[in-house]
A and B are shown apart, each in its own frame.
Chain A
Amino acid sequence: MYRSANARTELSQRNKPGAVPIRGAIAATFLGNDIRSRILLLGGAIALIATSAFAQTRAAPAGDSADLDALSRDQNQWVMAPRDYANTRFSGLDQINTGDVGQLHLEWMFSLGADRGQEAAPLIVNNTMYVVGPYAGPHPNQVFALDATTGDLKWSYAPKPDTAAQGVACCDVVTRGLAYDQGKVFLNTLDNYSVAIDGNTGRELWHTKLGDVNEGQTITMAPLVVKGKVLIGNSGGELGVRGWVTALDENTGQTIWRAYSTGPDSDVLIGSDFKPFYDWLKGKDLGVTSWPPDGWKTGGGTMWGWISYDPALNLIYYGSANPGPWNSNQRPGDNLWTTTVFARDADTGAARWALPLNPHDLFDHDEINENVLLDLEINGQVRKVLIHPARNGYMYVVDRATGEILSADAYDYITATKGIDLKTGRPVSNAEKAPALGKTVEDVCPAAPGAKDWQPTAWSPRTKLLYVPHQHLCMNFKASDVGYIAGTPFVGAAVDMYSGPGGYRGEFMAWDPVKRTKLWAIHENFPVWTGTLVTAGDVAFYGTLDRWFKAVDARNGTLLWQFRAGSGFVGQPVTYKGTDGAQYVAILSGVGGWPGAVAAAKIDPRVRNAALGFVGATQDLPAYSSGGSELLVFKLAGGQSGSVAPQPNPSHANGAQLETGNAPAR
C-alpha cells in the first residue's frame, strides 16, 4: 500500500508477459481459424494500400503535424477523438444519410469487460479500430485493436496499474480516449502514466509517469498529438492538485514543456508574447497575486477536457478547470488562471492570450469544454473564431487570434450570472446567488455540472449549426450535510440538483453561432452526456442515459432512427468507412461517471445529493440502466445505401420532445 514509486519496478511489471490476454502479431494468435485469417490478410492488404495513399503526406518532416492533419482529412478514418484539430466531429461520409439511416442495424459488438462509464471515442486508422476501457475490471484502461470492418481482435494491451491507487483516486474512473500518430497509439492511464504502444503489434514502446495518484492526481482526458508532441492534462483539483498541460516527445516520452494553470508567469509560460485582450489580464504574476499567499500552489485549474489546434496560427487551445480546494470565501481574488481558455504556441507552450471565463468561480464551473475552431462570417467579415459552449451556460464566440469575445449568449436557463460584460469579458455577477456560509441559496442555474460538461459538440459546415448535447439542471445550496473524510467530520454544502424550467434535465440542440439562436432542441429526460457526431449525410448522432442511441435530421431535429442498447450512453459516436466500402457508426455503451449523480434525481426529483463529490459514480440510473462495456458498431442493412423504401419517421420511444423555431433558452 505504501509502495514507493520505483520506475524500474513499474517497467518490469508493465512488460510482464501474461498480463495481457492477447498480444503480439495478429497471425500468431489467430491462425487457428482459417476463415478469420483470410479476412485478416485481406484487411492487412487493404491497410497497406491505405498507407501508401498517404505516402505523400508521410514525406513531411518527422514530427510535423502535417501527417496527422492530412490523415484527419481522410473522411474514411477517425484518427483523433475530436476527429480533426478544429474539434468539429464532422465526417464527410454520406452513405448513411437522412434517407436511409432508418436502415441502420447492429453489425457487430465487442465487450471491453469493464462495466463503468464508457466515455472514450474509438479511433479508426487504416481499418484498425483502437478502443480503451475505463480504469476498472480485471485490466484497468485496457486497449484493444480490432479490425474495424469485421470486429476481429488484433491485439490488446493491458497496463499494470498501481494497486495502491484503489480507493485513493477520487470518484471518476473514466477515460475519454486514445491518440494516434506515426504508427503509435498513446494511452493515458488513470494512475498518471502516458504510454506509447505500437499500433501494429500492441507492444509497449515507452511509458512516462506524470504524477502520483497518492497525491490525488489522475488523468482522464484523451491526449492530442500536435507536431510530434503528445499533449496531456491532469485531473484532481478537488484534492489539491495544481493543474497543468504537458507536452511529451512522441518518440521518447520525454517532457518538452509543461504549462501550469496557476503560479508565477514562468510556470504558466507567460512571457513577452503574451497579449491578453482585456486590460485586467495584464500584469506580472497574476497567477500568484490573484490568490491569498500560496493558494495557487494547490489551486486546481486542472485540464481534463479537450485541446484543439490551428496549424495556420500554430496555436493550441484549451480551457482549465475550477479553482480548489479552498471554498470561495477562503480565496479572495480572481484565482487566475483557473476556468481560463488559453491560446498557446504549439511548439513551446508559451501563452499567447488567456481568457478567464469565471474569475473567482463560485459554482464549480470548470471550463475544460471543447473549443471548436471555425471561420465564420460575422457582420460581413470572415473571422477566425473559436466557439466555447461554456459550463457557465454562455455560448462564447471568441476571436481565436486575439482572445476577444465577439459574442456570449445564454444557451440554457441562467440565474447564477446576469450576462457577460463584453467590455471586460467578465460575467456580471448575481449577488443573490452567491453561496454564503449558513445561507440557503436556491435556484442556482446552471447547477454545478454546468449547462454543458465535457461532452463534446459537433459542427456541420453544411448546415452551419453547432450540435450541442447538454444538461438542463438547477441546484440549491445548503450548508448542512455532515461529511466525513479520513476520520474528520465536517458540515458540507448540501447540493440538491433538479431539472431546470420545463421539467426536463437534458437537451440536444442546434445552435446558430452567427444568428446567435437555438434553431431546434430535443428535450431529454436525462442529461445528454454523450459526445456528438454530424455527417455530410445531414445526420446527427447522440446517445441517452436511458440506453437510446439516436440519429436525427441535422437540419430540423426530426428523429430518424433509434436503437436501444444494453446500457446507457456516455460515450462518443464516431463514423468511418470499412474495407467493404460500407460506412460504419460506432459508439461505446456503458453508463457511469458524474451523470449517475444527477440521474439519480429521477427516483426522487429533489433528492439530496450529499455534496457533489460524494454522489455515486457507480449506481447510475438503476431504474433505466445498469453498467455495461459494449462497443456497438452499426451499418446499413445490405451494406450500401440504395433504393430503400421510404418509411415514416419514428417518434422518440423515451418520450423526448422536439421543440423548433428559434426556441429561446428557457
Chain B
Amino acid sequence: MRPLGNTGKGGRSCCLGLVAIALVIDPALSAPSPLAAAETDEFKVCADPNNLPFSNADGAGFENKLAELVAGELGKRVTYSWWAQRRGFVRSTLNAELCDAVMGVPVDYELVETTRPYYRSTYVFVSRAGRNLDVASIKDARLNDLKIGVHLIGSDGMNTPPSLALGQRNIVQNVVGYMIYGDYREPDPPARLMEAVEKGDIDIAAAWGPLAGYAAKISAVPLTVVPITDTEDFAPLRFQFDIALGVRKGDHALKARLDDILARKQPEIRALLESYGVPLVQASSRAAETGTR
C-alpha cells in the first residue's frame, strides 16, 4: 500500500516530526487534532486510489485533475488520503478529518455539505456500436430478450436505478449483475461491466454515464453510449444526478471558496469532463426528476 501522504493528524504544518509520525500511524487511529486547524499549504483530498475515470493513486482520474485545478486556485498543493469509496468512506475519511474535501458526491448527499454541482450526468445504455441496438428507453420491448448487465450495490433496498426499474418490469431472467465493488485487486473494479460489453458477454449494459463514457473513450471496440429515457414512471428512482464537491458539514468557508472556483472555472471543468467522455446533460429536467424530494 502506498504510504498515506497525509493522514490529517496534525493541524500544524510547521513540524516535520509530526508528518513523519503520521506516515506510520494507521489512519483509522488518527484522532482529530484538538487544535483548530490553521491554514496550511495543502488542499487535503480523500479519494479512491483505484477507480478510474474518477480517481486513482497515479492521479489519472478527472477528479484528480480537478483537485489539481482547485488546489492551484487556492494557492495550495493537493495531498491525498486514499480509501476505497464504499460504505463508510465519508465516515472514515472526511468526517474523521483525514481531509477537507471529496471530489465527487451527489448534490443532497446527506453525509456531507455539498458545493454547487460541477456536472450533471445520466445513467446510459452502452452496447457495441456494431450491434446497432440504439436502445434508449427503459421501456424498450427488446430489453425483455437482450442479455443486460447492471451494477449491483447491495441489499437493504439499495441498487442502481436501471436494475431496480428492470426488476419492476419483471425483467430479471436475462439480467446479469456485476458488483460495483468487484475484486479490488483488479484495476478499476466497476469497469468489469463495460468490459463485458466489449467482450460480448452481454448485449447491453446500463451504467452510470461517466463509467460508460470513459469506457467508450478507451475501448478498442467501438461502443455506443445512449442516455436512458422514459424513466418518469419509476420515480422516486432517478436516472440523472448533479455531482458536486463535498466538504464536512459546517465547513461553510471552504464550501464558499470552492463554489467560487467551480463557478469561475466552469469552461475548463467542462473541457476536462469531455476529455474523459463524461456524458453531460442539462439540468432543465431536474425539477421533474427530483419532484419527490
Q: Which residues of A contact B (CB under 8 A)?
A: 1-5, 136-138, 163-164, 166-168, 170-171, 212, 214-216, 237-240, 292-295, 298, 300, 322-327, 329-332, 364, 435, 437-438, 448, 477, 479-493, 495, 608, 610-614, 616-619
Q: B293 contacts which chain A residues (CB < 8 A)?
A: 480
Instruction: List B residues at the A interface (Cβ < 8 Å).
Output: 1-2, 26-29, 48-51, 54, 57, 82-89, 91-92, 104-111, 151-161, 163-168, 170, 172-177, 179-181, 183-187, 189-190, 208, 210-211, 234-238, 241, 243, 292-293
Minimum CB–CB distance from B65 to chain A (whole Å) comes to 15
A495 pairs with B156, CB closer than 8 A: yes
Instruction: Give CA–CA (A330, B214) in the complex, Å.
Output: 28
Known pairs A3-B185, A164-B1, A239-B154; A330 contacts B172 (CB<8 A): yes
Complex: A572 Cα to B30 Cα, angstroms: 29
Asked if residues A171 and B87 are in contact (CB atoms below 8 Å), the reply is yes
A298–B91 contact, CB under 8 A? Answer: no
- Contact A212/B155 with A437-B164, A487-B190, A491-B161 known, Cβ cut-off 8 Å: no
Q: Is the beta-carbon distance between B155 and A364 smaller than 8 angstroms?
A: yes
**A482 & B50 in contact (Cβ 8 Å cutoff):** no
Task: Identify B158's interface contact among A138, A293, A611, CB under 8 A.
Answer: A611
How far, in whole Å, are A329 and B184 apart by their CA atoms in the complex? 28
The residue in chain A whose Cβ has the minimal distance to the Cβ of B107 is: A482
B176 A485 Cβ-Cβ under 8 A: no
Given the known A-B contacts A488-B180, A491-B161, are A5 and B237 also in contact in the complex, defined by CB atoms under 8 Å? no
Q: Do A479 and B157 touch across chains, with their CB atoms under 8 A apart? A: yes
Q: List 24 A-B contacts (CB under 8 A).
A: A3-B1, A166-B28, A166-B83, A167-B84, A239-B181, A240-B152, A292-B172, A322-B155, A324-B155, A332-B170, A364-B155, A435-B157, A438-B236, A477-B157, A480-B293, A482-B108, A483-B153, A484-B85, A485-B180, A486-B190, A487-B208, A488-B211, A490-B160, A613-B156
- Let me know if B106 and A487 touch, CB within 8 A: no
In the complex formed, the residue of A with least CB distance to B95 is A619
Chain A residues contacting B49 (CB-CB under 8 Å) are 1
> Which secondary structure dominates where chain A touches chain B?
loop
B158 engages A167 (CB within 8 Å): no
Q: Are B91 and A618 in touch, CB under 8 angstroms?
A: yes
| Cβ-defined partner of A491 (8 Å) among B110, B167, B189, B236 | B236
Q: How far is the CA of A157 from the CA of B293 in the complex (A)?
A: 52
**Contact present for B176 and A4 (CB under 8 Å):** no
Given A163-B1, A438-B235, A488-B190, A170–B185 Cβ distance below 8 Å?
no
Q: Give the chain A neighbours of B237 by CB distance below 8 A.
A: 437-438, 479, 491
Asked, given contacts A167-B89, A488-B211, A492-B158, whether A480 binds B109 with beta carbons under 8 Å apart, the answer is no
Contacts of B181 in A (CB 8 A): 216, 239-240, 485-486
- Residue among B27, B158, B166, B184 with most chain A CB within 10 A: B158
Taking CB atoms, residues of chain B closer than 8 Å to A214 are 183-185
Residue of B nearest to A488 (CB): B208
When A and B form their complex, which 10 residue pairs have the shortest distance between CB atoms, in order from nearest? A493-B157, A492-B158, A324-B155, A214-B184, A329-B167, A240-B179, A330-B167, A238-B154, A489-B241, A612-B156
B185 & A495 in contact (Cβ 8 Å cutoff):
no
Report yes or no: B157 in contact with A611, Cβ–Cβ below 8 A: yes
* Complex contact A1–B82 (CB within 8 A): yes
**Cβ contact within 8 Å between B236 and A489:** no
Expressed in whole angstroms, the minimum distance between the Cβ of A142 and any Cβ of chain B is: 13
B238 touching A613, Cβ below 8 Å: no
A324's partner among B86, B105, B154, B165 (CB-CB below 8 A) is B154
Given the interface pairs A167-B86, A482-B241, the reply to whether A610 lies near B110 with Cβ below 8 Å is: yes
Say whether B50 contacts A1, CB under 8 Å.
yes
Quick one: given A164-B1, A437-B168, A488-B151, are A238 and B208 in contact (CB under 8 Å)?
Answer: no
A240: nearest residue on chain B (CB-CB)? B179
Pick from B111, B157, B170, B179: contact of A327, CB under 8 Å:
B157
Q: Known contacts being A214-B184, A610-B110, is A483 close to B158, with CB within 8 Å?
A: yes
* CA distance in complex: A298, B177 (Å): 9
User: B253: shortest Cβ distance to chain A, in Å?
Assistant: 24
Which chain A residue lies CB-closest to B150?
A: A330
Cβ distance B61 to chain A, nearest Cβ, rounded Å: 9
Q: Which chain B residue has the least Cβ–Cβ distance from A330?
A: B167
**Closest residue of chain B to A163, judged by CB?**
B1
10 A-B pairs besides A438-B234, A448-B156, A491-B238 with CB distance below 8 A are A166-B27, A171-B88, A214-B183, A324-B154, A325-B177, A326-B155, A481-B110, A487-B85, A610-B110, A611-B158
A145 CA to B170 CA, complexed, in Å: 56
Partner of B155, one of A3, A323, A489, A617: A323
CB distance from B136 to the nearest CB of A (A): 20
Query: Counting chain B CB atoms within 10 Å of each CB, which of A324, A482, A616 scores highest?
Result: A482
Q: Which of B108, B160, B174, B236 is within 8 Å of A488, CB to CB?
A: B160
Given contacts A437-B234, A487-B48, A490-B160, contact A613 B243 (CB under 8 A): no
| Cross-chain contact B155 with A238 (CB below 8 angstroms) | yes
Closest chain A residue, CB of each to CB of B89: A167
Q: Are A490 and B179 in contact (CB under 8 A)?
A: no
Cα A138 to Cα B243 with chains together (Å)? 37
How far is A329 from B186 in the complex, measured between Cα atoms in Å? 30
Among A322, A491, A616, chain B packs the most CB atoms within 10 A around the CB of A491
Return chain A residues, CB-CB under 8 Å to B29: 137-138
What residues of A have a CB within 8 angstroms of the CB of B170 in the complex? 332
Please state if A212 and B183 are interface contacts (CB–CB under 8 Å).
Answer: yes
**A492: B residues at CB distance < 8 A:** 153, 156-158
